Chain A
Amino acid sequence: MVKQELRKLVTYSFFLVIILIPMLGFRSTTFEPGRVLKTFGVFVAILVINFIVKLMRRGRGDTTVKRSHWSERVGQHIGRIPKIYTLGGLLTVAAVFPLAANNYMIDVGITCLIYVTLGLGLNIVVGLCGLLDLGYIAFYAVGAYTYSLLDLTFGLSFWAALPIGVLLGMVCGCIIGYPTLKMRGDYLAIVTLGFGEIIRLVLNNWDSLTAGPNGLFGMKRPALYYPSFADGGLEWVTYYLKSLPALYYLILVIVILTIIGVGRLDNSRIGRAWVAIREDEVAAELSGVPTTWLKLLAYALGAAFGAVAGAFFAAKLSYTNPNFFLFMESCIVLCIVVLGGVGSIPGIIVAAFILIAMPEVFRGLENYRMLAFGAIMTTMMIIQPEGLIPASRRRQSLRAADRRAYEEQNAED
């Protein structure tokens, strides 16, 4: 038993070293004995760390059952404070932030908030309805390009273009939703991935409309209109939100509206039906849930939020090009949803800030920035698989349900 465990330990450590070698920056053009020694040193270090971890786990007994839920305890503490205080506190911090921060920080903050909107939108599709969508960024692109083109060709204002962008986003959501109604899991993932790429490639190659890879530029910023009586008569004055703090407040309002919208959907009849579809589609269908319509609705509403974020993004930068909408972006948004806790609104907000702000924080590490980012992601998923702040439904059940399923499977075998 012990011997077997030890052999496993050595094998694991060996493979870990092989994986780590390229990351450690060893070159293999010349042979140096010292380098071999160094590699061996790393191997021993990993072995020792693994051994210590193993001993600690053994000391704690059955780890899968007794693992401490730090997030739960934190959640309980937060839960004791009246909700209005926490919400008020967070809102104050968010509102005061631009006054205390420099432009760079505000810019990062805006990006974070854009991704909060995207994460919450994707959460409807992935988190509530359980449909894996790897091409979500396409709707972001649709929103961005709709505003850009409407502004550049017809001179439409941001606010007039926004509903059109949302509508087009929803149409696109239905276009991807309808043919995939009967698909699940891997197949759905592949189709959505393809859809995301199609949108990007169309934008990239339709030179006459989208100016191809050069992108579109010169869009107006979002504007506020207020009445003025300065010249004696009533006049509407247009104030363009050009400064970063002004744009920050605009996206903050968008995020708050998104949170309210998604929160209300989550708690509605529709939200319950979505969760039922996620849990078991056939059972949901037999309970009288119109699954076809609700799945399409999930795609359409998710796309709508993506389009809003896209329109804001294009208006903020006053520039857009197809390379903003790479597959990688879809992945990041999906990471936000999974890391935050599928279906959990506060989790997604926290995860968006971590995932977007963290690479900025690690700039000091230079080339190792993405390595540190990856390491933290991986560690997070190992120690906290339900996400940072799991949705209440998952928190109480995920581990217990998995354990039960495991036991039953063993019993049936």
Chain B
Amino acid sequence: MPKTNNHAILELKSVHTYYGNIHALKGVSLAIPKGDIACLIGANGAGKSTTLMTIFGVQQAEKGEIIFKGEPIHQLRPEQVASRGMAQTPEGRQIFPRMSVMENLDMGAYLRRDKDGVKEDLEWVLSLFPVLRERSTQPGGTLSGGEQQMLAIGRSLMSRPSLLLLDEPSLGLSPKLVERIFDTLIEINKKGTSIFLVEQNAHMALSVSAIGYVMETGRVVLTDKASALLENDQVRKAYLGE
């Protein structure tokens, strides 16, 4: 990997994270190209979600550097990271269950002050996920699993991020819905948002991504173009079930 990468919107340089005594990330280095979709695949407990939480500052990185748009962000708090144009859709459809769909989306724009821009983005999100418009006054908790995932993604988009981090958007959804979500991700990406995808559904993730990273027990063990990883024997055996 090159030392400095001008095309990368986000770069991690040998990042270490601990949960108490547990060494969760053991020197993770990766780069997400600007305007592309990158994905991080790996088994349960490999440290994928921890990577995202560390990037966002929810977990502090003990060592290493995280560079976002050319600035170090590894010492910032989550709200500071968010205000720099990053958004994250957490794992397991973490929406606000007793807030209405509209209020949920509104929370995504919490840091924004430009009312007109927020309105515009709301229209865009509702056009991406028309079902949210139908459900707009319904409490988030009453939506189905797929709708909640759409709401969670929609909420992250409301901050008009330049980089969107997604944690397992396919979790617990039917194959048809997964396809629908991934189609939308491509659409979002076309509008200029870079996407970093963390997935167990390796096939789906690699097929929409430009670059793929494979993670095992806190380390990135393999990096390549996504299309190449799809052909890689090791990956096919371990993650594609072939």
Contact = CB atoms under 8 A, between A and B. Distances in A.
A394 B98 CA distance: 6
Given A284-B107, A287-B82, A400 B96 contact: no
Contacts of A272: 103, 106-107, 110
B110 A289 contact: yes
A194 to B, nearest CB: 24
A405 B99 CA distance: 15
Nearest to A391: B98
Interface string A389-413: 0000110111011001100100010
Contacts, number: 93
A396 B101 CA distance: 13
A402 to B, nearest CB: 8
Contact of B77 (A283, A284, A287, A290): A290
A284 B56 CA distance: 13
Contact of B96 (A280, A404, A408): A280
Dominant secondary structure at the A interface: helix
A401 B96 CA distance: 11
Given A273-B110, A412-B172, A282 B94 contact: yes
Contacts of A404: 141-143
Task: Say which size band chain B's interface belongs to.
Answer: 20 to 34
Contacts of A269: 110
B83 A283 contact: no
Contacts of A412: 172
A285 interface: yes
Interface string A162-188: 000000000000000000000000000
A279 interface: yes
B78 interface: yes
Interface string A297-318: 0000000000000000000000
B28 to A, nearest CB: 20
Interface residues of A, number: 29
B141 A288 contact: no
Given A287-B82, A287-B108, A289-B79, A393 B99 contact: yes
A378 interface: no
Interface in B61-112: 77-79, 82-83, 87-90, 94-100, 103, 106-108, 110-111
Contact of A282 (B90, B103, B142): B90
B139 interface: yes
Contacts of A280: 94-97
A19 interface: no
Contacts of B77: 290, 292
A404 B144 CA distance: 8
A120 interface: no
Interchain residue pairs A-B with the least CB separation, the first 3: A397-B139, A288-B82, A401-B141
Interface of B: 56, 58, 77-79, 82-83, 87-90, 94-100, 103, 106-108, 110-111, 139, 141-143, 145, 152, 155-156, 159, 172
Interface of A: 269, 272-273, 275-276, 279-280, 282-292, 393-394, 396-398, 400-401, 404-405, 408, 412
Given A272-B110, A280-B96, 14 more contacts: A275-B98, A276-B96, A279-B97, A280-B95, A286-B82, A286-B87, A286-B88, A286-B90, A286-B156, A290-B77, A292-B77, A400-B141, A401-B141, A405-B97
